[in-house]
Every structure is written in structure tokens, then in C-alpha cells.
Amino acid sequence: MRKIRMGMVGGGQGAFIGAIHRIAAQLDGQIELVCGAFSRDSQVSKAIGEELYLAPDRSYASYQLMFEQEAAREDRMDMVAIVTPNKSHFSIAQMAITHGFHVICDKPATSDLTEILILKEQLLQSDCFYGLTHTYTGYPMVKEARARIAQGDLGTIRKVVVQYQQGWLANSDDEDSKQAAWRLDPRQGISCCMADIGVHAANLTEYITGLHISEVCADLNSVVSGRQLDDDGTVLLRFAENTQGFHAKGVLLASQVAIGDENDLSIAIYGDKASLHWRQLEPNTLTIKYPDKASALIRTGVSPLAHLTLANLRTPAGHPEGYLEAFANIYVNFSQQIREEIFQIPASEKAQDVPGIDEAIRGMAFIETVVAASASDKKWHKIDYSGNRK
């Protein structure tokens, strides 16, 4: 047995998300970072490799070089983490799979749905695993919410309100930052706010409820003057019919001009028996409200909790876990898939609980339909997850 060996593409230039991925990957001591192509500037990439205490010959000037040279090593990396700007995700993932590396990728998976469908084909032909870092599903209480709903605690789900408010793009000078610039660049993608955070909210909704979004009515806005992509938006949701012929409804709010809201993702789910409430800023609490009795404040570390919740917790009650631990759950569970394959260990529930290529497809279809729906004066638009959108 050994640690799973990881390489990284991107994450070089003071990018917050690269450092986050590295902490998340290594937090549980199951994965070690062994190599990286952190920047297209070979000097920069090398410098970062040194800061990270990598072997000098494993800081590469390009991902192409990395994949080629690592493929030839005895102690080659097992998996690669892709944390570059969105547009390059597709070609990097393709090449990684071609060389037999498992891929974990920041969302969105590609630039458009066509690319993801190609990627899925390639994956099906390969032995590679694919993970998408929908971080928020890594929180233990999100898993608890899913478990409680799956066992029927809420009854039939009727309504979902999911909100994701950020404020960091509230002013035009925010665009000077590198992080802002590529997100708001129409050459890099068709959406900023929906692609960046709206899709997280949609994924969280489907993960917790087990329902699929089938139709949307969308109103995207470019609030800050001069922007071409959305920095704010609201999407009305219709979910696929349940077995009783009932369509649950929902509302998804996302904004990057919500000054002061930091990174405020929350979800409320209303069933015919009870409702459930979770907020990322207080992630260790889950509230269930009933029509006729006291609300239940469920806390990490206080039994009883679902098996999968417990398997994603590290500390006892009252020792707050946060964003990095949620992120680490995505990584350690993904690495567990690899470990189970390499060492022929029986498949675990944990290892299966990782967002993958199908979530990537659903997310991209969501983004594309929302953008189209927002431009239309027709109210409702079906999401076609098959890729045959024309």
C-alpha cells in the first residue's frame, strides 16, 4: 500500500484555487503531490515546484511534457488535478486520459456540452476515473441531508430554494484581477455567474434531493456596466415528474454582485412532511422543521447520523470542520476509487460518492439552457441532457 500519486496542471500564479486543491488533496495523508505543470512559464513552474518540495525533475513546463514524461516513469503519477481556467480543461483532460491518468477537474468540465460528450466517450473507452470538484457536496451535512431525504423524512418534495450569493465581482475594478478577467471574458465562455456558481447550486440541489431539473425560466443580468457576460441571475426550476405525476418547483438565485455576502450558498427544501435547511457559512448544522413540533438542529458529531456522513467527518462534536475538509472529502473519496482498483479492495460507498462525468454533463446542459432561456421571451425551456440540443 502507498499514497496515491498526484500531479497538477495550473494553480501556479498565486491562484487561490490551486493552493486549495493541494491542501484538500493532501489533508488526509492518502494522496501525495509528486509533480506539476503549474505555469506555462518553465521558470515559474520550477519555482513553484521548489516551494512545494517536489523533486526538481517533476516540475514541468507544460502539461504535455508532464503527461509524456510521467507516463514513462516507474513511479508515475496516478491522477492529475486540473485547475486551469475553464477553457483549457477539455484538451488537458483528453490528453491525460490518453496517457492513462485519472482526472479530477475543477468545474466546469469543458467549454461546452459537445466537448463533455466527447470526453465521456473517451472515458468509456478508457480505464480512467473522472471526478469533478463540486466541492459543496463534500460537506458532511450535505450528505446527511441527502440521506434524510432519501429515507423519506421530508415526504414528497415540493419546492426548493437554492441561493448562491457572492459579492466579489460587484465593482468594475474587480475585473483587473486575473481571477475576474477570464471569467468575464466572452471569448472564454458563454456565462460568468451561472458557469461559476449557479452550476454549483444546481448540482447541490440535484445531489441533495435526488431530483432532476427538467425545465428552466431564466433571467440573467450583467449588472456592472460594460460587462458582456452575466454577473447575476435567477432561474426558476421545474423538476422532472415524480412517480405521482407531480412536478416539484424551485428557484435558483446566484449573484456575484451581492456585496458583503461573501460566499453564501444555502438551500431550503420543502416536502409535504417537513422542510430541510442548510447553509454553507454554518456548514456543521442541518435544520429540519416540522409543521407541528420542535425543529431539529442536527449537528456534526452528534449521533445518530447516516453512515456516509460519519465516513466524511474527522472531528468530534463542536470542533468545526469547514471548506477545506469538504474539499478534502471530494479528493479522498476520489482517490479511494483509484486505491480500490489498484489494490483490489472492495468498492465502498465513500468511493462512489464523487461527482463525475454525468454531473459534468448535467451542469453544462444546465448552463447552456439557462443562457439560451434568458435571451428568450418565452418563459419555460426544457433542458436537453442528451447533447442533441438543436
The interface region with a copy of itself, picked from 46-54, 55-63, 70-78, 335-343 by CB under 8 A, is: 46-54
Residue carrying C-alpha cell 454577473: 231
Least distance to a copy of itself, CB of residue 185, Å: 21
- Residue 20 in contact with a copy of itself, rule: CB under 8 A: yes
Dist. CA 200–CA 196, nearest whole Å: 7
- Residue 347 in contact with a copy of itself, rule: CB under 8 A: no
With contact defined as beta carbons under 8 Å apart, do 9 and 92 qualify? yes
Residue closer to a copy of itself (CB basis): 280 or 336: 280
Count residues contacting a copy of itself (CB under 8 A)? Answer: 92
Dist. CA 360–CA 120, nearest whole Å: 10
With contact defined as beta carbons under 8 Å apart, do 257 and 272 qualify? no
Residues 230-249 contacting a copy of itself, CB under 8 A: 232, 234, 236, 246, 249
Least distance to a copy of itself, CB of residue 79, Å: 16
Dist. CA 247–CA 211, nearest whole Å: 10
Helix 140-150 to helix 323-342 angle, to the nearest 10 degrees?
70
- Residue 370 in contact with a copy of itself, rule: CB under 8 A: no
How long, in residues, is the chain? 390
Residue closer to a copy of itself (CB basis): 111 or 191: 191
Residues 252-271 contacting a copy of itself, CB under 8 A: 253, 255, 257-264, 268, 270-271
Residue closer to a copy of itself (CB basis): 111 or 163: 163
Residue closer to a copy of itself (CB basis): 170 or 365: 170
- Residue 68 in contact with a copy of itself, rule: CB under 8 A: no
Residue carrying C-alpha cell 465593482: 171
Which residue in 324, 372, 384, 389 binds a copy of itself (CB under 8 A)?
324
With contact defined as beta carbons under 8 Å apart, do 92 and 36 qualify? no
User: In whole angstroms, what separates CA 288 from the centre of its chain?
Assistant: 25
Q: Which of 203, 239, 198, 204 is nearest to 219 (CA)?
A: 198
Least distance to a copy of itself, CB of residue 187, Å: 26
Residue carrying C-alpha cell 516551494: 51
Which residue in 42, 91, 188, 289 binds a copy of itself (CB under 8 A)?
289
- Residue 177 in contact with a copy of itself, rule: CB under 8 A: no
- Residue 170 in contact with a copy of itself, rule: CB under 8 A: yes
Helix 16-26 to helix 323-342 angle, to the nearest 10 degrees?
50
Dist. CA 164–CA 180, nearest whole Å: 17
Which residue in 41, 314, 342, 352 binds a copy of itself (CB under 8 A)?
314
Residue closer to a copy of itself (CB basis): 81 or 97: 81
Q: Which of 138, 119, 127, 113 is nearest to 21 (CA)?
A: 138
Which residue in 111, 205, 280, 329 binds a copy of itself (CB under 8 A)?
280
- Residue 221 in contact with a copy of itself, rule: CB under 8 A: yes
Strands 275-279 and 263-271 turn out to be antiparallel
Least distance to a copy of itself, CB of residue 304, Å: 7
Write b or e for each residue in 263-276: b if 16 or more Cβ atoms lie within 10 A of its Cβ, otherwise e: ebbbbbbbbeebbb
In the chain the first and final C-alpha atoms are separated, in Å, by 49
- Residue 336 in contact with a copy of itself, rule: CB under 8 A: no
- Residue 71 in contact with a copy of itself, rule: CB under 8 A: no
Least distance to a copy of itself, CB of residue 14, Å: 12
